[in-house]
Amino acid sequence: MAKFSDYLRLVKFSHTIFAMPFALLSFTYAWLTTDHSANIYLLLAEVVGCMVFARNVAMGFNRWADRDIDAENPRTREREIPAGVVSERGALWFIAINAILFIALAALINPLCGWLSPVALAIVMFYSYCKRFTSLAHIVLGISLGIAPVGAYMAVTGTSAWECWLLALIVTTWCSGFDIIYALQDAEFDRKRGLHSIPALLGPRGALVVSTLLHIASIALLVLFATYQPQSWLLWVGCTLFAAILVSEHILVTPTKQRNIGIAFGTFNALASLSLATFLIVNLVICG
């Protein structure tokens, strides 16, 4: 019988760190710039809970939908479902429970979050099938993660604003770019299996050009967002660190040097998200 830790590995729980800091940044911005009457600690716990439950649904469904593909791919055949650590039925129960908890918790936050929660789940689950028919699957993944700051802002305000959508665009371009880097590992397998991705379509060199352009867009959008924030050295140190880490990814992974993809994908992107959110949140609290 699968243990709880097996389900955490199934959904790569540690990768929650990618979008979570942006959600917390959006939450803080909304809290400090709008009127509200909620208990901040309860609301923050509800937002974090929604983030965790939604991501568990997204990754759990992705692993379930890709179980046959993962079993054929030498890189992924040891994942929990093809390896038999987590059963297909167990994975579906895990997905269903997390989906129910997400919708219920979103409804407790406010009516808008409740009504939109099934839409959010539909988007994050739709991603799992995209590589079967489009090379733009990376963009759909970016959009799925970009929901996080919009949802956090809506949780505080019961509405949306251009600031949270700008953060969503930053997350979308950033995550799409690093997912293209990650997909370099499976380009040959994807071509043989008839799956679609930017690396399978354009090859390593073309894929890294697209990834670079997306990350340039992320940095440009971040600078635009920063110009509307309280100005201090904290703000620009955070933005500089984020940009420097993205540049480092493209130095570390090149068309002919791909052995460091794991470090670039996991470690570097976690550092980028955490450092940016930390500096910008502290800037908002101190200078806002």
Q: Mind spelling out the 3-state secondary structure of 220-267?
A: HHHHHHHCCCCCCHHHHHHHHHHHHHHHHHHHHCECCECCCHHHHHHH
Domains of the chain listed by start with CATH number: 4-287 (1.10.357.140)
SS3 state of residue 136: coil
Q: How far apart are CA 141 and CA 90, in angstroms?
A: 24
For residue 6, the model assigns a pLDDT of: 66
Cβ proximity of 193 and 69 under 8 Å: yes
Q: What is the pTM of this model?
A: 0.94
For residue 9, the model assigns a pLDDT of: 73
Cβ-based neighbours of 54, under 8 Å, separated by 6 or more: 98, 102, 120, 121, 124, 147
Selection from 48, 54, 150 nearest residue 99 by Cα: 54
List, for residues 213-236, the tens digit of each pLDDT value. Answer: 999 999 999 999 999 999 999 999
SS3 state of residue 131: coil
Q: Give the chain's radius of gyration (CA, Å).
A: 19
For residue 8, the model assigns a pLDDT of: 73
Q: How far apart are CA 22 and CA 145, in angstroms?
A: 10
Q: What are phi and psi of 286, to 5 degrees?
A: -80, -40
For residue 182, the model assigns a pLDDT of: 93
Which pair of structure tokens corresponds to residue 30? Answer: 């909304």
Q: How many CB atoms lie within 10 A of CB 211?
A: 27
For residue 255, the model assigns a pLDDT of: 87
Cβ proximity of 150 and 164 under 8 Å: yes
Low-confidence ranges of the chain (pLDDT < 70): 1-2, 6-7, 13-15, 288
